[in-house]
Structure formats: structure tokens, C-alpha cells
């Protein structure tokens, strides 16, 4: 078994929605980022990479690389899930906490869980999405941005297989064809 944790922050900027867990959530602001700014997925990617001791999201997708400009973060998650499979691990469970005053996360948590589970090739019941405010304290409390924490546990459930870096549809096909309980 391997454990990993991840943390990310993005500041609010211009816009009228935020991407969180692959869900487009209407809001009074957007998130400033090189990619789509999905702070939930970035924290989850870092937790997966941390569990595998493979560095961090910026090592795999440098924020200076124009290829990742405005890219949807589910691409990054599929890549990390493929690395997990390549190294012979499956997700036991993931537990995520989103920290912000607004937007409210509760109404969107189930849709986020479904997206994240689909991208990691696991059951929705293995992915938890929680939220909290910081009681108006600190940068999240002042409404300056969103923070997210992720913890994952990986189980060695299958032999390692070779995975070539690939486009999102190919990564999705790879994740889908590996049964969660295989």
C-alpha cells in the first residue's frame, strides 16, 4: 500500500465560473491559472504522484509549457491514473477537502465524485469530496481564492503494465479497461 497527499491553491480572478473536480460551477469569479485552474484535481494529481513518488504536477505539466495553457485538468488526472496503473497500483480510496467560503460545494460534490472516479477507474464510493469554510479567516475566508487538500491510498492489486504517454481518449480507454477490483 502507498499513501499520498496533495495540496493546491488558486486565486480568484475575472470570470463567472470555476472548474472544480471537472464540474463547471457558476460563480462571481473565475480562478487564475495556466490551465483551467481546477484546484481539486491538481491536489488529487499531487496526491497520486506523491503516493508513487513521481514528483509533482508541475514536473509532469510545467506551467511554463504552452501545451498546458487552458487545458482541462481532467487530462492531468487521466495521466496520473495511467501512471498509477503502469506502476501496478489501484486506488483504494481518495478523500478530498475543498476550502472556500463561496461557491458552495455541497450541491456539486456528487458530480465531482463521479468525474474523478471515472478518470481514476474506480467506484464512486471510493472517492469522497468534502468542503469547509475557514469561518471568514485567512485568504479563503476573505474570498481571495480556493484551496484543496487530497489524500489517497493505493493498493498493489495488479501487475505493472507499460503505458505510453497518450492523448486523453487513449488514457481514458486505458483506465476504463482496467477493472477496479481486478
Ligand X SMILES: C[C@@]1(CO)OP(=O)(O)OP(=O)(O)OC[C@H]1O
Ligand Y SMILES: Nc1ccn([C@@H]2O[C@H](COP(=O)(O)O)[C@@H](O)[C@H]2O)c(=O)n1
Q: Which three cell numbers stand for residue 117?
A: 472516479
Is 72 one of the binding residues for ligand X (CB under 6 A)?
A: no
User: 139: annotated binding-site residue?
Assistant: yes
Partner in contact with 106, chosen from ligand Y, ligand X, none, beta carbon below 5 to 8 Å by kind: ligand Y
Q: Kindly list the residues in this chain that would bind ligand Y in the complex (CB under 6 A).
A: 100, 104-106, 131-133
Residue 123: strand, helix, or coil:
coil
Distance of CA 139 to the CA centre of its chain: 21
Which residues in 17-46 contact ligand X (CB under 6 A)? Answer: 33-35, 37, 42
Is residue 79 within 8 A of residue 60, CB to CB? The reply is yes
User: 57: annotated binding-site residue?
Assistant: yes
The nearest distance, CB 86 to ligand Y, in angstroms, is 35
Q: Kindly tell me the sign of the dihedral angle through the C-alpha atoms of 134, 137, 142, 147.
A: negative
Partner in contact with 2, chosen from ligand Y, ligand X, none, beta carbon below 5 to 8 Å by kind: none
Is residue 108 within 8 A of residue 25, CB to CB? The reply is yes
Q: Name, in order, each residue with C-beta under 8 angstroms of 45's C-beta and a sequence gap of 6 or more.
A: 6, 57, 60, 73, 76, 77, 79, 80
Partner in contact with 42, chosen from ligand Y, ligand X, none, beta carbon below 5 to 8 Å by kind: ligand X
Q: What span, in angstroms and rounded, lies between the C-alpha atoms of 170 and 141?
A: 40
The nearest distance, CB 147 to ligand X, in angstroms, is 11
The nearest distance, CB 53 to ligand X, in angstroms, is 18
Partner in contact with 133, chosen from ligand X, ligand Y, none, beta carbon below 5 to 8 Å by kind: ligand Y
Letters for 153-182 (x = contact with ligand X by CB under 6 A, - = none) are: ------------------------------
Is 85 one of the binding residues for ligand X (CB under 6 A)?
A: no
Distance of CA 141 to the CA centre of its chain: 22
**Residues annotated within a binding site for a divalent metal cation:** 8, 10, 42
Amino acid at each position: 500500500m502507498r499513501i499520498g497527499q496533495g495540496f493546491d491553491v488558486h486565486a480568484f480572478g475575472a470570470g463567472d465560473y470555476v472548474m472544480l473536480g471537472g464540474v463547471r460551477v457558476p460563480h462571481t469569479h473565475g480562478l487564475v491559472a495556466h490551465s483551467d485552474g481546477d484546484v481539486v484535481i491538481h491536489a488529487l494529481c499531487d496526491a497520486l504522484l506523491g503516493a508513487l513518488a513521481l514528483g509533482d504536477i508541475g514536473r509532469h505539466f510545467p506551467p511554463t509549457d504552452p501545451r498546458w495553457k487552458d487545458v482541462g485538468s481532467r487530462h492531468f488526472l487521466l495521466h496520473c491514473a495511467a501512471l498509477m496503473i503502469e506502476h501496478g497500483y489501484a486506488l483504494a480510496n481518495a478523500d478530498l477537502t475543498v476550502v472556500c467560503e463561496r461557491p458552495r460545494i455541497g450541491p456539486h460534490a456528487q458530480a465531482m465524485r463521479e468525474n474523478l472516479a471515472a478518470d481514476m477507474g474506480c467506484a464512486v464510493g471510493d472517492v469522497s469530496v468534502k468542503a469547509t469554510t475557514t469561518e471568514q479567516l485567512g485568504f479563503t475566508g476573505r474570498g481571495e481564492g480556493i484551496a484543496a487538500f487530497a489524500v489517497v491510498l493505493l493498493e498493489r492489486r495488479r501487475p505493472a503494465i507499460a503505458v505510453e504517454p497518450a492523448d486523453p481518449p487513449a488514457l481514458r480507454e486505458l483506465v476504463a479497461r482496467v477493472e477496479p477490483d481486478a
